[in-house]
Amino acid sequence: MKKSLYETDEAIIQGIRRNDDRALAYLYKLHFPMISHFILSNSGTDDEAKDIYQEGVIVFYEKIKDNSLELSCQIKTYLYSVCRRLWLKRLAEKGRFANRIDDSEEFQTLEEDVQKHEENERQFGVMADALGQIGEPCRSLLEDYYIRMQNMQDITDKFGYTNTDTAKNQKYKCLQRLKKLFFAAYKPEV
Amino acid sequence: MKDYGMYEQIERYLNGAMAAEERAAFEALLQTDPRLATKVQEHAQLLQAMQHYGQRQTLKHKLNNLHAEMEADFDLAQEATPQSAQIWKVYWKRHAQTIAVAASVSLLSVFGTLWSVQQLKAPVRQQTARYVELRREVEKIKKEQRAIINDINSVDPSVKPAPRPARFSGTGFAISSDGYIVTSSHVLEGADSVMIENKSGLKYKVTEVYRDHDNDLSILHIADPAFTGFGKLPYTFKNAEADLGERVYTLGYPREDIVFGEGALSSTSGFEGDTTSYQISIPLNPGNSGGPLLDDKGNMIGIISGKQVGQEGAAFAVKSTYLLEMIAELPAAATLAPLTLPKKNNLTGNSRPQQLKKLKDYVFVVKVYSSKGV
């Protein structure tokens, strides 16, 4: 059933655009063995395979969401190329230069996509750090409000503030700290 | 408190929640207040980063769930098939070059070996099992030299140019008194003209009247008007097969003079089991071809045809039965009068030298003249 639904690349892309989690699940399961094999046969571990593959899928997923995907090849090739690039970088970071990569697939150079992804990653890393540093309940408060988009009243109730104004004030203070931390570490490369 | 209000305002502006007028006012303020502008920009960036971060977290969470789910229902069988295919792919990619080189080397060596074996085998085979016809190639150069010397020496201009030397020679013998001679066909190969000559100096021009390619036999007839007849032939032709171990002999012209050879009938079949000929243990040389093979009693039992190179004492002679068969079909095939074969044997009981004395006039050297190189 699943198979017939997402048989073509186009169907998968449409599915992801519709926020259909089954499309994502199908895609994810379909190509993991390929990447896993690639990583494992180029001195990687299972966990690294999972990591790299998820990053690859994220790049692909976000490009679809952005509507900036110009797929000039199969999804399979795209994923393989992205993961290959990512893994080479990872190897370089580890100080292990792969002088010879065993490829089982065709691949393309997708420098731009990968670079953009890395920029995002850096931002997220900084954000995660900053969020970690502001501590609770600031973190939850901000996440609830800005990420989970809960309304102020619910948040007031949840955190046991006396009224929404207190909550807003608290949120403001938290945001101020986050901002400081975030911009201290993050300089956008423009 | 003021800042907190300002943030509210900024957020409302960013979310597009401001009314048109308020928005216009705020934008005007942005124009004039660069500090506020940076703040707004920073705020926007922060919020966006946070939201993206949130989305990313959800996505990661989702993928982790998927991964766990996948690992759970990945049973080994499912994994094995694509995995092994992948392994082969990688293996192939990694070793394709090596494999190609190895394959070409092995192909090369296989065919090289086959070729060289063939090359080596060819001469070996020639040595072990080659049948040679015993036609003699006359020492042409020597004779030509002699002719040139004769030319130079002869001061008399009226002397005719030296006769062209014979190119090949073999042996032949009479089968009837009216001028029929038998010899091996291969002796006459490429002949322009054929002469026969015997020990006593008789010399005739002959023509080939019949040829049996299968048994390598040819009948010649003396065309010379001066020829009157051989007289009675001293030997007869044996129709039955000769016995193994019988003492046999032959006369022939492996050189300028007649040569006697003696031996035994060593097999009733010839080269590679050929039943139309005998194997005999007589030392033979080129020029013996077409000579008569006689038994002790003076019966003609065969015609010398060839020998096997690389095999000691293995010579061959066509059985006389086939000669007789050929003679029998001769009148029909060549529109000739039936041959009268000799009926009485004058050799029986004579000692060998006596036999040879009677015999030698009926054995001829067959000289083949040819302008073509054969």
> Is B61 in the A-facing interface, judged by CB distances under 8 Å?
no
The residue of B11, B76, B90, B98 whose CB has the most chain A CBs within 10 angstroms, and thus the best one to mutate to test that interface, is: B90
Residue of B nearest to A27 (CA): B66
The domain ranges of chain A are 2-109, 116-185
Question: Are B323 and B276 spatial neighbours (Cβ–Cβ below 8 Å)?
Answer: no
List, for residues A18-33, the tens digit of each pLDDT value: 888 888 888 888 888 8
Residue of B nearest to A186 (CA): B46
Q: What are phi and psi of A107, to 5 degrees?
A: -150, 165
- pLDDT band at B165; cut points 50, 70, 90: low
Name the helix (H) or strand (E) containing B170: strand B168-176
Residues of A in contact with B87 (CB under 8 A): 37
Query: Hey, what are B270's tokens?
Result: 């010839």
What is the pLDDT at residue B75? 54
> Is A43 in the B-facing interface, judged by CB distances under 8 Å?
no
List, for residues A50-73, the tens digit of each pLDDT value: 888 888 888 888 888 777 777 777
Which residue in A93, A83, A100 sits closest to A42, CA to CA?
A: A100
> Is B328 in the A-facing interface, judged by CB distances under 8 Å?
no
Residue B102 has pLDDT above 90, yes or no: yes
Complex-level ipTM:
0.76
- Alpha helices of chain B — where are they, by DSSP H? 2-14, 20-32, 34-72, 76-128, 140-153, 320-334, 352-359
List, for residues B319-339, the tens digit of each pLDDT value: 999 888 888 887 777 777 777
> Is B120 in the A-facing interface, judged by CB distances under 8 Å?
no
Q: Tell me how crowded residue B157 is: count the other CB atoms within 10 A of its CB.
A: 5
The CA R_g of chain A, rounded to the nearest whole Å, is 21
The C-alpha angle with vertex B305 and arms to B303 and B311, in degrees rounded to 5, equals 125
Name the helix (H) or strand (E) containing B278: strand B277-280
How far is it, in rounded angstroms, from Cα A139 to Cα B49?
Answer: 14
Tell me the sheet residues that pair with B168. B137, B368
CB-CB under 8 Å, B54 with A143:
yes
The domain ranges of chain B are 2-70, 76-128, 142-155+163-369
Q: Tell me how crowded residue B213 is: count the other CB atoms within 10 A of its CB.
A: 9
Give the closest-approach CA distance of B89 to chain A in angstroms: 6
Residues of B in contact with A172 (CB under 8 A): 3-4, 7
pTM for the model stands at 0.44
* Mean pLDDT score, B177-187: 88
List, for residues B337-347, the tens digit of each pLDDT value: 777 788 888 88
Give Cβ neighbours of residue A5 (< 8 Å, ≥ 6 apart): A11, A15, A22, A23, A26
How far is it, in rounded angstroms, from Cα B262 to Cα B244?
Answer: 15
**What is the DSSP secondary-structure string of A28-76?**
HHHHHHHHHHHHHTTT--HHHHHHHHHHHHHHHHHHHHHT-----S-HH
The C-alpha angle with vertex B235 and arms to B228 and B263, in degrees rounded to 5, equals 130
* Mean pLDDT score, A119-129: 81
Higher pLDDT, A88 or B152: A88
Buried b (16+ CB within 10 A) or exposed e, A150-162: eebeebbeeeebe
Give Cβ neighbours of residue B9 (< 8 Å, ≥ 6 apart): B26
Cα within 13 Å of Cα(B325), Cβ side = 12
* CATH placement of domain A116-185: 1.10.10.10
β-pairing, B180-184 vs B259-267, is unpaired
CB-CB under 8 Å, A146 with B47:
yes
CB-CB under 8 Å, B45 with A188:
yes
Mean pLDDT taken over chain B: 81
> Is B67 in the A-facing interface, judged by CB distances under 8 Å?
yes
Q: What are phi and psi of B255, to 5 degrees?
A: -140, -165
Residue A2 has pLDDT above 50, yes or no: no
- Helix or strand or coil: residue A159? helix
B142-155+163-369 adopts what CATH topology?
Thrombin, subunit H (2.40.10)
What is the pLDDT at residue B79? 52
> Is B62 in the A-facing interface, judged by CB distances under 8 Å?
yes
- Alpha helices of B216-346 — where are they, by DSSP H? 320-334
* Mean pLDDT score, A66-89: 81
Which residue in A32, A77, A63 sits closest to A50, CA to CA?
A: A32
Residue of A nearest to B89 (CA): A104
Q: At what angle do helices A164-185 and A152-159 cross, to 10 degrees?
A: 90
Residue B164 has pLDDT above 80, yes or no: no
Of B27-31, B192-196, B360-364, the one with minimum mean pLDDT is B27-31
CB-CB under 8 Å, B83 with A33:
yes
How far is it, in rounded angstroms, from Cα A176 to Cα A138?
Answer: 11
Query: Hey, what are B122's tokens?
Result: 């060819």
Residues of B in contact with A126 (CB under 8 A): 49
- Helix or strand or coil: residue B367? strand
How far is it, in rounded angstroms, from Cα B268 to Cα B288?
Answer: 20
Residue of A nearest to B60 (CA): A54
Tell me the sheet residues that pair with B174. B181
| C-alpha distance from residue B372 to each of A160, B163, B174, B285 (Å) | 128, 16, 28, 24
> Is A30 in the B-facing interface, judged by CB distances under 8 Å?
no
Give the range with max mean pLDDT: A13-22, B127-136, B257-266: B257-266
| Placement of tokens 């041959």 in the chain | B339
DSSP 3-state helix, strand, coil percentages of chain A (rounded to 5)? Answer: 70, 0, 30
Give the closest-approach CA distance of A103 to chain B in angstroms: 6
CATH class of A2-109: mainly alpha
Which residue in B263, B203, B251 sits closest to B359, CA to CA?
A: B251
How far is it, in rounded angstroms, from Cα B204 to Cα B224?
Answer: 6
What is the pLDDT at residue A97? 63
Point out the residue among A28, A175, A183 whose CB comes nearest to the CB of B66.
Answer: A28
> Is B45 in the A-facing interface, judged by CB distances under 8 Å?
yes
The residue of B51, B56, B94, B98 whose CB has the most chain A CBs within 10 angstroms, and thus the best one to mutate to test that interface, is: B56
